[in-house]
């Protein structure tokens, strides 16, 4: 279906393995946009009464069908998980360049599960997923961590999101930061990254969404 890539990426931090799965068009039509898809996937994926800091608690990243298009205000992405702050379903949103890079990986959703034995950060592109050691970054503040990840990835067109010491130490209101000052500030989702020993994620790629009617989109 145009506007979507019709696929998701699943990353298992425990086994350091990834799989690509098709998303049925019926799901994309019924649960429209990044919010709809993320909500559906979290409710499908998470076991009942799962502890927010359990390896079985999923982190789900989505960008909607208008991401990386000329439509005004479309540079937004979302993260879905079970909140360590409230103990229930949660969603948090942010914007900026990270939305473009997330979208260009070519996935409608990225599901992260499991827990790494050692601190890692992920490099996700339209070609591969690389698990990098984050030992040298663990304990660093977000500005320094984001800079360190982007330097290690070494790509001009890339973006990264990170946690700081609060997330690493499972502070239940910890945030995720990107573009230096943009925040995923709701529900303590930074602590969920910390529980998985995931310092951050770098995104890059060249995949572009196919718009059904580009001229009509420009007129909106």
| CATH code of the domain containing 117 | 3.60.9.10
Mean pLDDT (whole number) for 53-66: 96
Q: Does residue 160 fall inside a structural domain?
A: yes
Q: Does residue 192 fall inside a structural domain?
A: yes
Residue-wise pLDDT for 132-190, tens only, equals 999 999 999 999 999 999 999 998 889 999 999 999 999 999 999 999 899 999 999 99
Instruction: Name the domain count of the chain.
Output: 1
Q: Does residue 135 fall inside a structural domain?
A: yes
Residue-wise pLDDT for 86-124, tens only, equals 999 999 999 999 999 999 999 999 999 999 999 999 999
Domain span holding position 201: 7-208
Q: Does residue 118 fall inside a structural domain?
A: yes
Say how far apart CA 189 and CA 201 lie, in whole Å: 14
Q: Vertex 167, ends 162 and 49: CA angle to 5°? A: 115
Q: Does residue 215 fall inside a structural domain?
A: no
Say how far apart CA 149 and CA 94 lie, in whole Å: 19
Q: Note the pTM of the prediction, 2 decimals.
A: 0.95
Around 122, how many Cα atoms within 13 Å sit in the side-chain half-sphere?
29
Predicted local confidence at residue 73, as pLDDT: 80
Q: Does residue 86 fall inside a structural domain?
A: yes
C-alpha dist (Å) from residue 102 to 116, 136, 161, 213, 215? 22, 25, 10, 23, 24
Predicted local confidence at residue 120, as pLDDT: 99
Q: Does residue 213 fall inside a structural domain?
A: no
Q: Does residue 2 fall inside a structural domain?
A: no
């Amino acid at each position: 279906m145009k506007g979507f890539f019709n696929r998701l990426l699943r990353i298992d931090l425990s086994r350091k393995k990834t799989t690509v799965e098709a998303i049925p068009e019926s799901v994309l039509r019924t649960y429209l946009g990044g919010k709809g898809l993320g909500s559906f996937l979290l409710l499908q994926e998470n076991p009942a009464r799962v502890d927010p800091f359990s390896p079985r608690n999923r982190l789900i990243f989505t960008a909607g069908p208008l991401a990386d298009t000329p439509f005004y205000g479309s540079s937004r992405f979302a993260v879905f998980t079970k909140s360590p702050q409230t103990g229930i379903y949660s969603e948090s949103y942010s914007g900026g360049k990270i939305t473009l890079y997330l979208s260009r990986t070519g996935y409608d959703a990225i599901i992260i599960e499991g827990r790494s034995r050692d601190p890692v950060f992920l490099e996700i592109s339209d070609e591969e997923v690389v698990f990098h050691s984050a030992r040298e970054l663990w304990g660093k503040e977000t500005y320094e961590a984001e800079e360190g990840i982007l330097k290690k990835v070494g790509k001009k067109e890339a973006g990264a999101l990170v946690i700081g010491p609060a997330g690493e130490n499972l502070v239940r209101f910890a945030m995720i930061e990107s573009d230096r000052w943009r925040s995923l500030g709701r529900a303590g989702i930074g602590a969920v990254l910390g529980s998985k020993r995931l310092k951050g994620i770098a995104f890059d790629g060249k995949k572009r969404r196919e718009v059904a009617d580009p001229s009509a989109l420009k007129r909106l």
